[in-house]
Structure 1
């Protein structure tokens, strides 16, 4: 009994979403809350120039959990969300197949230094761990320290994102790429990233995100 109690004490940690003690990364209560945000189909049509695959709808518990990931120093959530996204991806028979490399949307070096990690790269690593797809973490470099998009109009978003990226390392001509990010709203960022890749004859076959804004989404 003593050793069982000691093991429980040693391996039970606070849930990063609510603070409850839990033997799992996320407590059962928060997992159930997050599951209410999962989409019936991970493929969202009519949301941009490329097929968009999202695990959930951006709002409620999922919005709060992503905020915990990015602003409360819980990088472990990024890998977990990437794994959930991968499971949804693998269950979708319409997903692209073949030789695909996953490229996370990068942070500017100043923001990366401030945050300590790139949430899109963590999501991509979790995704690739399950799918087995190769990862090019430095495939794109953010050369412009853009403003936060949520406070901008569509026109301002487009100006803000202009010339934000340059080609990094790990990609070659005629590679097929999946762009990975945490949230999809208007698609301005991924479209700018895709244009950079396409200018080097690298094609984008889709975009994967943990959450997409509610427009056009349907819950399970």
Structure 2
């Protein structure tokens, strides 16, 4: 019954998406120009020439967080070698450099909600097997503080999570975690300040989390302080294994 409700919900979302496409035509994830009819028919969300401006995460990358490494002799990035983690493994789609930085800014602040569809498609192409192997039971987006989300009108991590949920047929639970602290933007802080900034910033909406294998999704991974804080609370509430998938990640060297 629950699976049927899950599918019906996304059938409704798909109808709404089709309606919105008539009002807000799809734009290229990289250059933000309108897509050609041929691209839309082939379900491409980026121009062929623009794709060359993206830097997909490829090996070698950190065995733990998935950040790109300088050479194949190194197994873990500097950050993961230094810190204990509540995350089992992490993966990401693109290196946070070049054109994708502007794309992510538009995704977060310029109402480019449909970029989530492109990111979900990329996640399926790159990391579907990894997600299936981990036997993910639920997708949990990193939450925004409620006042900020109301002001912006959406949570970009939740959009990414829902789009991925639809493709993977795994439930997305955007309200499983709540941000109870209005934190400063992480980009303004250094490593230690980021850890303190998100300390006690999250809590579970349920006393006991019934899902044992959870995938956290977010837009950008830098030091990992935010996802670590979310993962810690999930494990305290009963999750056994917590994984992370982000749209972009910084280099681990």
TM beyond 0.5: yes
1:22 aligned to 2:35? yes
Partner of 2:16: none
Q: 111, 131, 148: which is aligned to 2:168?
A: 131
Structure 2 distance, partners of 1:80, 1:210, is: 10
Distance 1:45 1:72, change over 3 A: same
Q: Deviation of residue 90 (structure 1)?
A: 1.5
Q: Deviation of residue 201 (structure 1)?
A: 1.4
1:67 aligned to 2:67? no
Distance 1:11 1:135, change over 3 A: closer
Counterparts of 1:72-91 in structure 2, within 5 Å, are: 72-91=110-129
Asked if the contact 1:55–1:84 (Cα under 8 Å) also holds between the matched residues in 2, the reply is yes
- Structure 1 or 2: larger strand share? 1
1:154 aligned to 2:154? no
Q: Deviation of residue 69 (structure 1)?
A: 0.7
Task: List alignment gaps of at least 5 residues for structure 1.
Answer: 1-9
Q: Secondary structure at the match of 1:53?
A: strand
Structure 2 distance, partners of 1:53, 1:161, is: 21
TM-score computed with the length of structure 1 as normaliser: 0.82
Partner of 1:167: 204
Distance 1:112 1:159, change over 3 A: same
Asked if the contact 2:136–2:215 (Cα under 8 Å) also holds between the matched residues in 1, the reply is no
Q: Secondary structure at the match of 1:85?
A: helix
Q: CA RMSD in A?
A: 2.7
Q: 227, 244, 251: which is aligned to 1:190?
A: 227
Q: Deviation of residue 206 (structure 1)?
A: 1.0
Q: Secondary structure at the match of 1:102?
A: strand
Structure 2 distance, partners of 1:42, 1:88, is: 15
Asked if the contact 1:142–1:164 (Cα under 8 Å) also holds between the matched residues in 2, the reply is yes
Partner of 1:39: 57
Q: Which has the higher contact order (CA 8 A, sep 6+)?
A: 1
How many residues were matched structurally?
A: 205
Answer with 18-27 or 172-181: which moved more: 18-27
Asked if the contact 1:42–1:89 (Cα under 8 Å) also holds between the matched residues in 2, the reply is no
